[in-house]
Chains A and B, each alone.
Chain A
Amino acid sequence: MGAAEVISKTENVSGDAGKAPLIDIRNLRITFPSGGAEPKTVLKGINLSVQPGEIVGLVGESGAGKTTLARSILGVPPAPGRIAAGEVHFEGRQILSLSEAELRRLRGRRLSVVVPNPRAELNPLRKVGDQIASMAKIHLNVSRKEARRMALQMLRDVQIPDPERRMDAYPHELSGGMAQRVVIAMALICNPAFVISDDATSGLDVTVQAQILALLAKLAAEHGSAMLFITRDVGITAHFCDRIAVLFSGEIVEIAPREALFLEPAHPYTLMLLAAFSHSPKLRDSWSVPETARRRELAAGCQYADRCPIAQAVCRTHRPPFAEVSPGHFARCHFPVRHA
């Protein structure tokens, strides 16, 4: 994959270059076996870092590689994908080189994930109280009774009505919104330093979505957790993300502090995206790359050239640099949009 190999130096895209980042993802490349000799590269060298307590949004259309990134950070890319290259530095260690046992102890305790569609992800045969409590029991080495007490407290924190009774409920007895709260409780019970929320509310209706996102942000702040907030809906990120990265076809094409991204988007794709979202929900729904376009990866040049309205000849031949258009604001484009 020529496109990915062009990335040679690690680009510093941390929000505050002065402080040491909490988590630093460097040149992460994930491939899937494709049947042919060349595996398919789904993440093409991701560089991203997050400061302690920071909330970073990651926006991308369906198939961009968001879930793959979320799971790969935890060392378990979706099967049959594999980590072809890259490092994840977290709390002073390169965690992708840890043993499986050490990595397991980080997952759910220091690094946790809020999954979408939780009614499928929760074990249908175990009471939700037990599932939450077992997080504490496994990771914090507390007694069964203490774990249950903590689980009950978490259910209160995520504002589930009648928490005592819900402890003994099974997942199928919960509404989608309640199941989502349960998964949030599981993600936060061990006070992780870093929470990844992967499209956490996509299945819920809009009002519930807003409530749950507000809750998630509030709890993350209370627990002192930094967060990577993954979503397809760029509008949501405007409410509480400190910085926002735009993922396109396995590549971060733009990253910027919130105001800069919304007021001065530099990448044509971001511009299109903001326009689409401010216009119509219909555009939002149809927002995904056709599979054929996705497969036709350019050996060199810009990934977005096929769809870009201002593409030039150079875009198809030369890979654009990831250039800093203003402090902390980077875009991968030969002709970044200028704002007067």
Chain B
Amino acid sequence: MRILAYLAKRLVFVIPQLLGIVLVSFLLVKSIPGDPAVLMLGPTATPSAIAALREQLGLDQPLYMQFLIYVRNLLHGDLGTSWQTTRPVLEDLLQRFPATLELVTFSLLLAILVGVTLGVYAARNPRGWVARVSDLYGLSAGALPDFWFALVLIFVFYTVLGWAPAPLGRIDMIVIPPIPVTGILTIDALLAGDPEAFWSACSHLALPVLTLGLLNAGPILKITQSTMETMLESDFSRYEVLCGVPQNLVVRHALRNALPSIVTIISVLYGFLIGGAVLVEIVFSWGGAGQYAVQGVLNSDIYPVLGFVLFSAIFSLIVYIAVDLVYFLLDPRISN
């Protein structure tokens, strides 16, 4: 019941939150210098042709009118058209956002696996070598640029060893992609029962996922380690030891109590990576949503940018609501 009341309260705020985000990003995007009409028509365009196009695009209207028109269109499910791809932004994003989501989700799963495992191990053995390595790792993982790490991995696993496919997209050119259902290639391939497409998609995921997964394991590791240390030193863990609870069970219970903090950092990373993966997307020609938005920024193509912001914002809101639900499940004390 409390969960439902909470959800209702959360959802009431979603619309104003989204509106605010759209307004701020609209103003920001509009403040970027550059005239799309000029870019669209090229260097040989006449001033009158440019003026005509500006009028057609609504660029001659005052800013607030442009914003109201954009919002009105949004309410009709129209996110505008990209002049670069000449397609509706919604269509473009529905194709590209799943690509980013797939990349980021698998990366995060790897980061969780590495970060939580090492973090728990380091907390159990604070003087062991894993703890020392993890200190170093926690420091350096944050300092390594991801595109650089990606290039190193490409050099080693593609150029030298030849184990990985060329960093050109999400699936081999010669493999026919599965019929899009979710837009997530691995899942679509499984749905279509196409093992060849599945393996091709997996092999293309390997290096970018390794890049983002290993780099983002750092913060998860640090949080897991410090929270687990606190939990293992806390009164209830000490009491369990006094009661003769076996060590591995004490650790399991402590991990359960540490989960809320770990879930928090994971959700923050998830929201961040949707946009934060853009350099890696570019290195691997991923064709993801981040890459699409950056192209938009560079070419005064504002609707892809705004569409991306909107998608990311909705995604983050979903993640945060999901996380709050997880807190509800994890901690019986959150009842008011």
Question: Which of A18-26, A45-53, A112-120, A267-275 is near enough to bind chain B?
Answer: A112-120
Once bound together, how far apart are the Cα atoms of A106 and B238, in whole Å? 16
Question: How many chain A residues touch the partner (CB < 8 A)?
Answer: 28
Residue ID in chain B nearest A123 by CB atoms: B236
**B21 within 8 Å of A (CB atoms):** no
Residue ID in chain A nearest B256 by CB atoms: A125
Do the beta carbons of A122 and B242 come within 8 Å of each other? no
**A159 within 8 Å of B (CB atoms):** no
Known interface pairs A123-B257, A126-B253; A104-B246 also in contact (CB < 8 Å): yes
**A321 within 8 Å of B (CB atoms):** no
**A57 within 8 Å of B (CB atoms):** no
Known interface pairs A107-B244, A108-B244, A124-B333; A138-B249 also in contact (CB < 8 Å): yes
CB distance from B126 to the nearest CB of A (A): 12
Do the beta carbons of A121 and B332 come within 8 Å of each other? no
Residues of B near A298 (CB, < 8 A) are none
CB distance from A74 to the nearest CB of B (A): 6
Do the beta carbons of B236 and A106 come within 8 Å of each other? no
**B330 within 8 Å of A (CB atoms):** yes
Do the beta carbons of B242 and A113 come within 8 Å of each other? yes
**Residue in contact with B244 in the complex, picked from A71, A106, A120, A172, CB distance below 8 Å:** A106
Known interface pairs A170-B332, A170-B333, A172-B333; A122-B239 also in contact (CB < 8 Å): yes
Residue ID in chain A nearest B253 by CB atoms: A123
Do the beta carbons of A125 and B244 come within 8 Å of each other? no
**B243 within 8 Å of A (CB atoms):** yes
**A89 within 8 Å of B (CB atoms):** no
Once bound together, how far apart are the Cα atoms of A170 and B330, in whole Å? 12
One digit per residue, 1 when the CB lies within 8 angstroms of any chain A CB and 0 when it does not, for chain B 127-160 equals 0000000000000000000000000000000000
Known interface pairs A124-B236, A125-B256; A74-B332 also in contact (CB < 8 Å): no
**Residue in contact with A138 in the complex, picked from B242, B246, B332, B333, CB distance below 8 Å:** B246
One digit per residue, 1 when the CB lies within 8 angstroms of any chain B CB and 0 when it does not, for chain A 112-149 equals 11010100111111100000001100110000000000
Do the beta carbons of A123 and B244 come within 8 Å of each other? no
Residues of B near A112 (CB, < 8 A) are 243
Once bound together, how far apart are the Cα atoms of A275 and B4, in whole Å? 61
Residues of A near B241 (CB, < 8 A) are 76, 107
Question: How many chain B residues touch the partner (CB < 8 A)?
Answer: 21
Do the beta carbons of B242 and A108 come within 8 Å of each other? yes
**B55 within 8 Å of A (CB atoms):** no
Once bound together, how far apart are the Cα atoms of A123 and B330, in whole Å? 13
**Residue in contact with B239 in the complex, picked from A105, A115, A138, A172, CB distance below 8 Å:** A115
Residues of B near A79 (CB, < 8 A) are 233
**B194 within 8 Å of A (CB atoms):** no
Residues of A near B240 (CB, < 8 A) are 123
CB distance from A328 to the nearest CB of B (A): 31
Do the beta carbons of A108 and B245 come within 8 Å of each other? yes
Do the beta carbons of B239 and A121 come within 8 Å of each other? yes
Once bound together, how far apart are the Cα atoms of A112 and B245, in whole Å? 12
Do the beta carbons of B235 and A104 come within 8 Å of each other? no
Once bound together, how far apart are the Cα atoms of A170 and B245, in whole Å? 19
Do the beta carbons of A108 and B235 come within 8 Å of each other? no
Once bound together, how far apart are the Cα atoms of A125 and B256, in whole Å? 8
Residues of B near A123 (CB, < 8 A) are 236, 240, 253, 257
Do the beta carbons of B243 and A186 come within 8 Å of each other? yes
CB distance from A180 to the nearest CB of B (A): 13
CB distance from B229 to the nearest CB of A (A): 12
Residue ID in chain B nearest A103 by CB atoms: B244
Once bound together, how far apart are the Cα atoms of A104 and B243, in whole Å? 8
**A258 within 8 Å of B (CB atoms):** no
Do the beta carbons of B244 and A139 come within 8 Å of each other? yes
Once bound together, how far apart are the Cα atoms of A108 and B249, in whole Å? 15
Residues of B near A138 (CB, < 8 A) are 244-246, 249
**B35 within 8 Å of A (CB atoms):** no
Do the beta carbons of B243 and A125 come within 8 Å of each other? no
Residues of A near B245 (CB, < 8 A) are 108, 134, 138
**A109 within 8 Å of B (CB atoms):** yes
Do the beta carbons of A109 and B244 come within 8 Å of each other? yes
Do the beta carbons of B332 and A122 come within 8 Å of each other? no
Once bound together, how far apart are the Cα atoms of A120 and B246, in whole Å? 20
Closest 4 CB pairs of A and B: A108-B244, A107-B244, A108-B243, A121-B239
Instruction: Please name 9 pairs of A and B residues whose Cβ atoms are closer than 8 Å in the assembled complex, sorted by A.
Output: A74-B242, A107-B241, A121-B236, A122-B239, A124-B333, A125-B332, A134-B245, A138-B245, A186-B243
Beyond A74-B242, A112-B243, list 13 extra A-B contacts (CB 8 Å): A104-B246, A108-B244, A117-B235, A123-B240, A123-B253, A125-B256, A125-B332, A138-B249, A139-B244, A170-B333, A172-B332, A172-B333, A186-B243
